[in-house]
């Protein structure tokens, strides 16, 4: 095996881990941008219905297996074996999507021993995300020991937030400890900015709607506000996450049900949001079918979700002084026309509608893996310095 393709360009493997999935893409440079060689995903990690699929750039399925995938590292090992059978190119670089880097890691960068230590120290900022990310980094570093490894942070795009958006209404000493608004889905939002290019207007709102959902206000392509806060639990209600709550609710639960931090974390991240409204159902397609059949709890979940997103868009219209473009992305944002319609109902006062002939409302597929590959190539060219 070799570490570069025949044109001499570095080959970059991107690992994009989710709560129960691992997506990957293998890229090389062509015509000034990243070109996909292979892509794939392991779905249902930790469940009996886990699966592994690898596809060619044209969508042809090259490999499909049914597995019980016990963990992210187990999924990576299986992906690596199939990747070796499908392609002889070993990556020069591996790019890792990292949801949260804490207060000190806010730029994409090469993973060194010091960066890994800082990630470990930041675990309390994202205890559900950082430990599995570190385990995946360690496993990938062992498998691809001859490659450079880079961390690309979902929070990096939001480093442009002004103080009024970033600082929380708490005593200043907490901000100095890193208790601020970070914002997430930054790699998704970056990919939309790259795709739109010169077509991106001065005032835009992006809505990444999926199992995790957030909304972002952009001025001249820069993030100026976003719905998620210090953690990906904040903002609009999501599949299993609560979104924003009156802090008094948490105090009430602590006092009356004696919930500790771990129990609250499980409640807010695993059993709330759409799942909370419906006693466990968080899948958008399933909820839409239930609502169409007259299920009142499913209808409430859909209405509450759409209303929260619409309210946030309306707030950002006031912040920006109007909206020139509204973009939906993510699994729900891209594929559910019914949810886009629900969100847009009531936005005609600012000139937005799902069937807007002027093209001010669009659904665009996010390209997180390609965006990570772009950052990795830039970091390779700069010697691994922050980009």
Q: How far is it, in rounded angstroms, from Cα 305 to Cα 301?
A: 6
Q: In the chain, count of helices (H) and strands (E)?
A: 14, 13
CA–CA–CA angle 32, 153, 204 (5° rounding):
70
- Tell me which residue of 209, 387, 195 sits closest to 312, measured CA to CA: 209
CB 191 within 8 A of CB 145: no
**How far is it, in rounded angstroms, from Cα 319 to Cα 224?**
9
**C-alpha dihedral sign at 273, 278, 283, 286:** negative
Question: Given the DSSP bridges, would you call strands 148-153 and 222-226 parallel, antiparallel or unpaired?
Answer: unpaired
Instruction: Please state, in angstroms and rounded to a whole number, the distance separating the CA atoms of residues 213 and 332.
Output: 9
Q: Which of 48, 154, 199, 356 is catalytic?
A: 154
Give the separation between CA 246 and CA 150, rounded to whole angstroms.
38
Give, in order, the Cα–Cα distances in Å from 125 to each of 102, 104, 190, 221: 6, 11, 23, 27
Kindly state the greatest CA–CA separation across the chain: 65
Pairing of strands 109-110, 361-363: unpaired
Closest CA to 363 of 315, 319, 325: 325
Please give the structure tokens belonging to residue 345: 């109902």
Q: Which residues pair with 329 in a beta bridge?
A: 208
Check if 154 is active-site.
Answer: yes
- In whole angstroms, give the CA distance from residue 159 to residue 316: 18
- Dump strand ranges (E) for 220-353: 222-226, 325-329
**Which residues are known catalytic residues?**
154
């Amino acid at each position: 095996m070799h570490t570069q393709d025949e044109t001499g360009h570095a080959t970059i493997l991107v690992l994009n881990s989710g709560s129960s999935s691992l997506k990957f893409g293998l890229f090389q440079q062509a015509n000034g941008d990243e070109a996909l060689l292979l892509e794939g995903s392991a779905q249902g990690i930790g469940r009996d219905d886990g699966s592994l699929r690898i596809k060619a750039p044209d969508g042809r399925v090259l490999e499909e297996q049914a597995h019980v995938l016990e963990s992210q590292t187990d999924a990576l090992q299986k992906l690596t074996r199939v990747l070796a059978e499908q392609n002889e190119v070993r990556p020069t670089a591996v790019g890792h999507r990292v949801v949260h880097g804490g207060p000190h890691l806010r730029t994409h960068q090469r993973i060194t021993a010091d960066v890994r230590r800082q990630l470990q120290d930041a675990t309390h900022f994202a205890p559900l995300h950082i430990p599995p990310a570190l385990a995946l980094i360690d496993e990938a570093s062992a498998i691809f020991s001859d490659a450079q490894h880079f961390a690309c942070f979902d929070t990096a795009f939001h480093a442009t937030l002004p103080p009024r958006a970033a600082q929380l209404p708490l005593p200043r000493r907490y901000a100095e400890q890193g208790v601020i608004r970070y914002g997430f889905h930054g790699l998704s939002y970056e990919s939309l900015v790259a795709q739109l290019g010169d077509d991106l207007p001065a005032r835009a709102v992006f809505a990444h709607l999926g199992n995790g959902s957030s909304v972002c206000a952009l001025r001249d392509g820069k993030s100026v506000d976003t719905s998620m806060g210090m953690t990906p639990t904040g903002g609009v209600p999501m599949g299993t996450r609560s979104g924003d709550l009156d802090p008094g609710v948490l105090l009430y639960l602590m006092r009356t049900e004696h919930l500790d931090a771990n129990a609250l974390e499980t409640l807010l991240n695993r059993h709330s949001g759409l799942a909370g409204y419906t006693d466990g159902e968080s899948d958008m397609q399933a909820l839409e079918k239930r609502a169409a059949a007259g299920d009142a709890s499913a209808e409430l979940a859909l209405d509450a979700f759409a209303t929260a997103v619409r309210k946030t868009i309306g707030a950002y219209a006031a912040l920006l002084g109007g909206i020139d473009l509204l973009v939906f992305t993510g699994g729900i944002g891209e594929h559910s026309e019914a949810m886009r319609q629900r969100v847009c109902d009531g936005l005609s006062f600012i000139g937005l509608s799902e069937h807007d002939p002027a093209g001010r409302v669009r659904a665009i597929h996010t390209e997180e893996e390609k965006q990570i590959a772009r950052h990795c190539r830039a970091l390779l060219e700069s010697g691994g310095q922050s980009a």
